[in-house]
Amino acid sequence: MDIAVLGPLDVRENGLSVTPTAPKPRQVLALLALHADQVVPVSALIEELWGERPPRSARTTLQTYVLQLRELISAAITNDPEEARPRTAKQVLVTTPGGYVLDTSGGTSDVCEFEHMAGTGHRAMDAGDFAGAARQLRDALGLWTGSAFSDIQTGLRLTMEARRLEETRLCALDQRIEADLRLGRHRELLGELTMLVSRHRTHENLHGQLMLALHRSGRRSEALGVYQRLRTALIRELGLEPSPALRRIQRYVLMAGPEPAAVGAAAGRAGHLSPAG
């Protein structure tokens, strides 16, 4: 089974889609797919579908959705002429004491791939291998085709998971940009960073990185303008001043002198107060 949730939901068995069209069964499959090969408790599925006030028929209705998913899985299994002894739908979507498991039988998951590649990229950064880090993190980010669960009507559980995944995506993006800055690719980053800071109005890392990229490109006044816009947004929206690390970057830009070696890491230490404005 191959699973993709970093964008539109796409779950395939033997290359055939088993993703339902009805909203509630899609929610069930999305939560099972995110936690593939792990037990997802019935209580978690019910909370996802109906929140804190489920109907009395919640368990029975959930069982109906599971049966619908198994019908799709069964149709995909029987369409594989090369499989002599195919798994049954109940062996793919397994009932366990207290929950269900989506058994991928060694298939792929874009979340697992992303987390593995991003982890490799972060370790490369720690080791000072900026080229390797940029490559690994770029490949990891390339697995995203949109926002996580972008075509799912999410409940409480999937909404929280989507926010968690988006934060890991933003951390990987921040590190990839930092690696590219360390490699002297500041001019290539200007367009991307300009778009990102407009989307994340109070994200200090991204603003600090854009300031450095502009400063290194000989655009000092624009770099200072980025700082002023961020400061205005932070005060207006959060009642906070920019962090000491970001103020250090501003001072380096104001001085317009040779950039100290430590400044390249300053943006990475600036932190962010909100992933999105």
Q: Strand 93-96's sheet: what is its strand order?
A: 40-41, 99-102, 93-96
Calpha distance 42→263 (Å, rounded): 50
Coil, helix or strand at residue 47 = helix
Q: How many domains is the chain partitioned into structurally?
A: 2
Calpha distance 135→179 (Å, rounded): 9
* CATH, residue 64: 1.10.10.10
CA–CA distance from 159 to each of 8, 147, 203, 226, 246 (Å)?
A: 14, 11, 21, 32, 31
Calpha distance 32→96 (Å, rounded): 13
What's the chain's length in residues? 277
CA neighbor of 18 nearest in space, from 6, 32, 7: 32
* Domain housing 194: 185-277
Coil, helix or strand at residue 57 = coil
| DSSP per residue, 125-153 | HHTT-HHHHHHHHHHHHTT--SSTTTTS-
pLDDT, one tens digit for every residue, the chain (277 residues) = 999 999 999 999 988 999 999 999 999 999 999 999 999 999 999 999 999 899 999 999 999 999 999 999 999 988 665 665 678 999 999 999 999 999 999 899 999 999 999 999 999 999 999 999 999 999 999 999 999 999 999 999 999 999 999 999 999 999 999 999 999 999 999 999 999 999 999 999 999 999 999 999 999 999 999 999 999 999 999 999 999 999 999 999 998 755 544 444 554 444 443 333 3
Single out the residue in 69, 102, 135 at which a domain terminates: 102
Single out the residue in 102, 136, 169 at which a domain terminates: 102
Single out the residue in 102, 124, 145 at which a domain terminates: 102
What pLDDT is attached to residue 243? Answer: 93
Q: What is the pTM of this model?
A: 0.85
Report residue 263 as tokens: 């400044």
